[in-house]
Structure 1
Amino acid sequence: MLNLPPRLGARLDSTQFANLHTFLAAARHLSFTRAAEELCLTPSAVSHRIGRLERALEQRLFIRLTRKVQLTEAGERIFQILQGAMDELTEALQPGSVNEVAGPLAVYVRPSLAQGWLVPQLADFTERYPAVTLDIRVGNEQVDFRTQRIDLALYYADGNFPGLASTRLMDEKIAPVCSPDYARRHALIGRPDNLRHCTLLHDSLAWHNAAHDAEWTLWARHHGVATALPERGLSFDRSDLCVLAAQNHAGIAIGRQRLVQAQLDRGELMLPFGPFTLSGHYAYYLVHPSKDALPKRLQLFIDWLHECAMAV
């Protein structure tokens, strides 16, 4: 329910609706200039509309700084109300019967997880919910849910997401992987001390703010072989590229079980030092803005993801 302050609720004419629309864009971007670009207005017109809205409410909504703006406490509260109402309205206006789940859904995923786990399973979701339009976007950055129109993010992380709602989707296990030929040529089977002769393949962005060799360091400390790790290596910004390089005999990579099991089953990769072990505090998480109720299509997608995770 759109529960706006009484002073504004009593004066919701066409002018104030325009001002609220302008406020919503400015609050989402935290920029009058970017809001003006979105609304095809001048920054001055955006500023005037926000000023009229503030006078109607008799309270400030933005703190004007030299090169940016920030929401006040009142501004943040009204932004959350309006954004929630717009989400509900968008869902209500989707075509189809009231019982049909429909509408767009933007999902942000780390590239390796999209390539190795999510995308191969999407046919099942689209068959179940053909009226939901999925927009899968990939990248290594942290999503800014305020300025980017993203409904859900899937991260490989430690679970620390201040100010956001998060759910642990599934655990992950890691182990060094390489091609059978590479293992034979470097006498690696059961001999982690021979890593000193190898080229290590690094996912330099394994998780947010990770060191380039973070996964190798994590595995080595767990198994007590840190002194055997060579400095020679290749770095990529995607785990699946490390695995592809390992398949093609370029070195040895840290493999994540959920992303490399198919290659192991086909014999394209092997585990020279034994089975996978849990990757410490790191797991796959579903992250989205905190809301009292999620849009139905988003909740169904989250439920489907949990079903997929349980099936592995």
Structure 2
Amino acid sequence: MLNLPPRISARLDSRQFANLHTFLVAARHLSFARAAQELCLTASAVSHRIGRLETALNMKLFQRLTRQVSLTDEGERIFEVLQHAMGELSEALEHSSRVEVTGSIALYVRPSIAQCWLVPRLADFVERYPLVSLDLRVGNDNVDFRTRKVDLALYYANGEFPGLKSHRLMREQSAPVCSPEYAEHHRLYEQPENLKHCTTLHDALAWDHAAFDAEWTLWAEQHNLLGALPKRTLTFDRSDLSVTAALNHAGIAIGRQQLVQKHIDSGELVLPLAGFSRSGHYDYYLVHPPLSTIPKRLLVFMNWLRECARQSAVLDDQEDG
């Protein structure tokens, strides 16, 4: 547990607690104006509160620039301490006042894993924990935990999350998938050279900084088929959309097993060129800011996700990060 250094705590009195809260909000937004909106104050009032706090602590917490503010090294240190303290306080109040798990969780998820894997399973979580509210948000960008009120993120990534805590939830494998009709029409079964006559379907935002054809390139390199990739393409910003196009005979997509296995099992999609295999080092990760104590509502949700992953039979029990 992080503690305020004695030289700082000695300078605090009851008049500074409101100023500390104002600092916490302003540091999270890195904006006096946005902090003022959240606190129902004027930007000038926010600035004055922080000024009084800086005077009391005898340290500069923000660098004031022309159109923005940034935290000083001391400001970063105090911000980290306050975040940990508030998290522990919330957890203590939760344990002391409630027997059942309650509260809300803001979860940020990549669109395809939300659509194809997470959302179909949520009814079970709601039944188990009826007093926990889940706020699900989707997007292709990495969320800024400091400026967005998000507790947890679920990413498809390589596991590199500087400054954050990560846990590998599931391994992933991939393979080219298409409808049976498309495979037969283009004579793809055991004839990979015919791929050059097809339309490849791409998730252009497969992971951070990925090229639009990154998934296909990785697969083709593994199978010595770079020369067989066609020039005709359709590009999407979501894996599930490229798979939907494949289901409707528009071409052949790279399917991630966790997202497409149900379509393979039903016969709606086939694996005409090769079975599922590892491509690169991309898996599904749970990510959150470093916390000295994980709130109970968040812990039960993470454990529930792990249980779902075990049922998918691709969980790696060793946590990373």
Q: Decide: shared fold, TM above 0.5.
A: yes
Q: 1:275 to 1:250 in 2, by over 3 A?
A: same
Alpha-carbon offset, residue 133 of structure 1: 0.8
Q: Which letter maps to 1:124?
A: D
Q: 1:53 to 1:16 in 2, by over 3 A?
A: same
Q: Which letter maps to 1:193?
A: E
- 1 CA distance for matches of 2:96 and 2:77? 32
Q: Which letter maps to 2:121?
A: Q
Match in the other structure for 1:115: 115
Q: 1:220 to 1:278 in 2, by over 3 A?
A: same
- Tell me if structure 1 keeps the 8 A contact 2:109–2:155: yes
Match in the other structure for 1:126: 126
Alpha-carbon offset, residue 65 of structure 1: 2.1
- 2 CA distance for matches of 1:195 and 1:50? 63
Match in the other structure for 2:270: 270
Match in the other structure for 1:307: 307
Match in the other structure for 1:24: 24
Alpha-carbon offset, residue 118 of structure 1: 0.8
Q: Please provide the CA RMSD for this pair.
A: 1.8
Match in the other structure for 1:148: 148
Match in the other structure for 2:292: 292
Match in the other structure for 2:224: 224
Match in the other structure for 1:137: 137
Structure 2 counterparts to residues 187-266 of structure 1, below 5 A: 187-266=187-266
- 1 CA distance for matches of 2:175 and 2:97? 49
Structure 1 unaligned residues grouped into runs of 5+? none
Alpha-carbon offset, residue 310 of structure 1: 1.3
Q: Which letter maps to 1:139?
A: G
- 1 CA distance for matches of 2:87 and 2:117? 29
- 2 CA distance for matches of 1:2 and 1:11? 18
Q: Which letter maps to 2:282?
A: Y
- 2 CA distance for matches of 1:155 and 1:110? 6
Q: What percentage of residue pairs aligned between the two structures are identical?
A: 68
Match in the other structure for 1:89: 89
Q: Which letter maps to 2:111?
A: P
Higher-strand-fraction structure:
1
Match in the other structure for 1:164: 164
Q: 1:97 to 1:16 in 2, by over 3 A?
A: closer
- 2 CA distance for matches of 1:30 and 1:189? 56
Alpha-carbon offset, residue 17 of structure 1: 1.5
Alpha-carbon offset, residue 240 of structure 1: 0.5
- Tell me if structure 2 keeps the 8 A contact 1:158–1:281: yes
The number of residue pairs the alignment matches comes to 312
Q: Which letter maps to 2:161?
A: F
Alpha-carbon offset, residue 89 of structure 1: 3.5
Q: Which letter maps to 1:107?
A: L
Structure 2 unaligned residues grouped into runs of 5+? 313-321
Q: Which letter maps to 2:37?
A: E
- 2 CA distance for matches of 1:156 and 1:231? 27
Q: 1:46 to 1:139 in 2, by over 3 A?
A: same
TM-score (norm 1): 0.95
TM-score (norm 2): 0.92
Cα deviation code 1:14-64 (max 9, x no counterpart) = 531121111011100111121122222222221111111001001111122
Q: Which letter maps to 1:82?
A: L
Cα deviation code 1:70-105 (max 9, x no counterpart) = 212221121122222323334455599533111001
Cα deviation code 1:188-246 (max 9, x no counterpart) = 11111111111110000001111111100010001110001012111111100001000
